[in-house]
């Protein structure tokens, strides 16, 4: 009878089972212990990252994620480390004070030629092993030192999280500023495209200058540098102001007067009506064309209508001459030409004078349109300046929308041309969109209420700015208000005419500045005190009110 090999005896199998159980307990314990160590290392790294986040830009969430990640990696690494049963036996012997019984037994179990006392030793080891609880050999214990270190590091991390982080605040502000700059660049670009589209293939010199200024500004804003952007905005504003022409205001007034005269004429010729409507709607090219057609048809009109037309044109010329002598003269010459024409051969002369009037009308219209676009651009630049300044100021993060909306809504210089020619993209949703169809007086919301239009199709401003009491950028100081005669369609036009202030409207929408200047100045001072006004604009605001005070 052959004795079974020692290594395949039931005792050896039982020893292997027991050691495997111990190994599982050891792996679990090791995993937990290394997870704690990993967590400690992770907490230390997190604290370091949070401290670094006060100097350089680092994500807090990434720093916080380091701790569980380190703990998980350490636990997995520890669990993945599979110890041999010999090592487990050694560890268990040491932990339980078994005096190398398990180690010796496991080694003897692997031998094919056991020593004399092998069976006895194995039996002794098994007897001890049967009384061993795995987690007594490998207990899940946390040392006081590790606990203290972990608690200290956790406290440090919490402190770093709770204490204000100036760098993070600055970084957020810079991010928002960059975002704002991109938005402003987008708005400027959109406005430039609109102007380009409106100008068509033959833009005027003023339009070209405006487009160049806007394109340059857009490029500067896209770079995302706040300082550069401020400089570019200031430069663009200066350039646009330099390009601004006072003749456009005169031309607008002249056109408005002419349109009023044409509308209020005694004649009932459809062409004069549509001519007045086209001028009122800002469709100057169409108006010029209609005036030319009127010259072609004038001699074929009955004498009474010719007389009425002549009278209407004369009145319109007289009205327009108050603001734009060239246009007024052209219209009066057209009226004179019509009156002097009695022979069929005079038609060429009539056509010529009407053509000249048409050209003058078109020229005035283009001047008005260019100026209107320039004013839009200027408004956009100011809105961008205000938005940027509002965000740069301390505590402005939560007020961005309010300030920016307020900044845009203050647009004042509208030339009353309506017909959708005014659109002011801006922050905070403040925009003015003319629909061109309404004949009712326009009362723009918020602070855009200063912009009104008469005639047909005036701008229906829908500014949604909620902070109408804040003024950030001054209106043109040199300009004064001129109250135009009321027309049938509206309460009047608020225009700036150099040096002469006309009577204010009597509908309550416009009051002399002397009555409101004190309130506005108080609000401006308050706004400056609350740092709502950028530092570089404070002098501008002070100068503005100083200039107004000097005028008083």
163 sits near other proteins (criterion: CB under 8 A) = no
Beta bridge partners, 495, equal: 482
Which of 119, 215 has the CB closer to other proteins? 119
> CA 448, CA 425: separation in Å to the nearest integer?
13
117 sits near other proteins (criterion: CB under 8 A) = yes
107 sits near other proteins (criterion: CB under 8 A) = yes
75, 32 Cβ separation under 8 angstroms: yes
Which residues, 6 or more positions from 382, have their beta carbon under 8 angstroms from its beta carbon? Answer: 237, 407, 410, 472, 473
- For every residue of 20-55, DSSP letters joined together read HHHHHHHHHHHHHHHHHHHHHHHHHHHHHHHHHTTT
Footprint (CB under 8 A) of other proteins, residues 189-228: none
Shortest distance (Å) from residue 2 CB to other proteins: 16
Which of 90, 359 has the CB closer to other proteins? 90
Per-residue burial over 62-95, b if 16 or more Cβ lie within 10 Å, else e, is ebbebbeebbeebbeebeeeeeebeebbbbbbee
> CA 203, CA 344: separation in Å to the nearest integer?
38
**Residue 495 Ramachandran class (φ > 0 left, ψ -120 to 50 alpha, else beta):** beta
**Secondary structure class of 483 (helix, strand, coil):** strand
**Selected range binding other proteins among 111-119, 215-223, 278-286, 503-511, rule: CB under 8 A:** 111-119
Which of 107, 305 has the CB closer to other proteins? 107
Shortest distance (Å) from residue 149 CB to other proteins: 25
Kindly state the tokens that stand for 174: 């810079």
Q: How crowded is the C-beta side of 203, counted as CA atoms within 13 Å?
A: 21
Which of 84, 522 has the CB closer to other proteins? 84
Q: Given the structure tokens 């056991």, which residue do they identify?
A: 114
Shortest distance (Å) from residue 90 CB to other proteins: 6
108 sits near other proteins (criterion: CB under 8 A) = yes
Which of 62, 123 has the CB closer to other proteins? 123
283 sits near other proteins (criterion: CB under 8 A) = no
> CA 256, CA 251: separation in Å to the nearest integer?
8
Shortest distance (Å) from residue 96 CB to other proteins: 12
Indicate which single residue of 13, 52, 123, 549 sits in contact with other proteins (rule: CB under 8 A): 123
Q: How many CB atoms lie within 10 A of CB 52?
A: 13
**Selected range binding other proteins among 48-56, 105-113, 177-185, 186-194, rule: CB under 8 A:** 105-113
Degrees, nearest 5: CA angle 80-84-85: 125
Q: Binding pattern to other proteins, positions 68-97, x when CB under 8 A?
A: ------------------x---x--xx---
> CA 546, CA 551: separation in Å to the nearest integer?
9
Which of 87, 300 has the CB closer to other proteins? 87
115 sits near other proteins (criterion: CB under 8 A) = yes
Shortest distance (Å) from residue 166 CB to other proteins: 51
Q: How crowded is the C-beta side of 476, counted as CA atoms within 13 Å?
A: 24
Shortest distance (Å) from residue 31 CB to other proteins: 22
99 sits near other proteins (criterion: CB under 8 A) = yes
Shortest distance (Å) from residue 16 CB to other proteins: 16
55 sits near other proteins (criterion: CB under 8 A) = no
Shortest distance (Å) from residue 113 CB to other proteins: 12
Number of residues that bind other proteins (CB under 8 A): 21
> CA 368, CA 249: separation in Å to the nearest integer?
7
Indicate which single residue of 5, 52, 120, 142 sits in contact with other proteins (rule: CB under 8 A): 120
116 sits near other proteins (criterion: CB under 8 A) = yes
Indicate which single residue of 118, 132, 278, 496 sits in contact with other proteins (rule: CB under 8 A): 118
Q: Which residues bind other proteins (CB under 8 A)?
A: 86, 90, 93-94, 99-101, 103-105, 107-108, 115-121, 123-124
């Amino acid at each position: 009878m052959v004795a079974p090999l020692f290594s395949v005896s039931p005792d050896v199998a039982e020893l292997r089972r027991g050691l495997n159980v111990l190994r599982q307990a050891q792996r679990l314990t090791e995993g937990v212990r290394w997870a704690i160590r990993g967590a400690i290392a992770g907490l230390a790294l997190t604290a370091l990252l949070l401290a670094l986040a006060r100097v350089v830009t680092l994500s807090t969430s990434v720093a916080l994620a380091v701790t569980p990640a380190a703990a998980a990696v350490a636990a997995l690494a520890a669990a993945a480390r599979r110890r041999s049963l010999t090592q487990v036996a050694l560890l268990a012997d040491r932990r339980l004070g078994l005096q190398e019984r398990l180690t010796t037994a496991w080694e003897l179990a692997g031998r094919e030629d056991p020593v004399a006392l092998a069976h006895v030793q194995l039996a002794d080891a098994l007897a001890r092993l049967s009384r061993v609880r795995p987690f007594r050999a490998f207990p899940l214990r946390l040392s006081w030192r590790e606990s203290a270190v972990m608690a200290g590091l956790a406290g440090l991390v919490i402190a770093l999280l709770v204490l204000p982080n100036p760098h993070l605040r600055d970084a957020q502000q810079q991010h928002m500023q960059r975002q704002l700059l991109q938005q402003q660049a987008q708005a400027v670009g959109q406005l430039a495209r609109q102007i380009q589209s409106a100008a068509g293939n033959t833009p005027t010199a003023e339009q070209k200058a405006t487009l160049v200024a806007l394109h340059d500004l857009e490029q500067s804003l896209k770079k995302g540098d706040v300082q550069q952007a401020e400089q570019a905005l200031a430069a663009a504003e200066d350039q646009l102001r330099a390009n601004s022409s006072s003749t456009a205001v005169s031309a607008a007034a002249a056109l408005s007067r002419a349109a009023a005269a044409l509308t209020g004429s005694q004649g009932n010729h459809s062409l004069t009506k549509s001519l007045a409507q086209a001028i009122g709607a800002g469709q100057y090219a169409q108006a010029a064309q209609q005036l030319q057609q009127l010259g072609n048809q004038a001699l074929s009109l009955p004498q009474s209508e010719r007389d009425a037309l002549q009278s209407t044109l004369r009145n319109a010329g007289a009205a327009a001459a108050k603001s734009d002598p060239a246009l007024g003269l052209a219209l009066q010459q057209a009226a004179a030409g019509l009156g002097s024409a009695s022979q069929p051969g005079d038609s060429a002369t009539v056509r010529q004078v009407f053509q000249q009037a048409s050209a003058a009308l078109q020229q005035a219209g283009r001047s008005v349109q260019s100026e209107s676009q320039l004013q839009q651009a200027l408004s956009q630049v100011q809105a961008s300046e205000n938005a940027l300044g509002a965000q740069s100021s301390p505590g402005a993060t939560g007020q961005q929308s309010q300030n920016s909306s307020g900044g845009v809504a203050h647009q004042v210089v509208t030339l009353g041309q309506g017909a959708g020619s005014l659109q002011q993209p801006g922050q905070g949703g403040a925009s003015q969109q003319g629909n061109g169809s309404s004949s009712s007086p326009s009362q723009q919301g918020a602070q855009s209420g200063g912009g009104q239009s008469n005639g047909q199709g005036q701008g229906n401003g829908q500014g949604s700015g909620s902070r109408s009491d804040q003024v950030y950028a001054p209106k043109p100081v040199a300009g004064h208000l001129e109250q135009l005669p009321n027309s049938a369609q509206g309460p009047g036009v608020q225009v700036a005419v150099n040096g002469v202030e006309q009577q204010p409207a009597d509908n309550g929408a416009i009051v002399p500045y002397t009555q409101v200047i004190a309130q506005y100045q108080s609000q401006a001072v308050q706004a400056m005190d609350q740092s709502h006004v950028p530092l570089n604009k404070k002098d501008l605001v002070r100068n503005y009110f100083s200039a107004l005070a000097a005028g008083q």
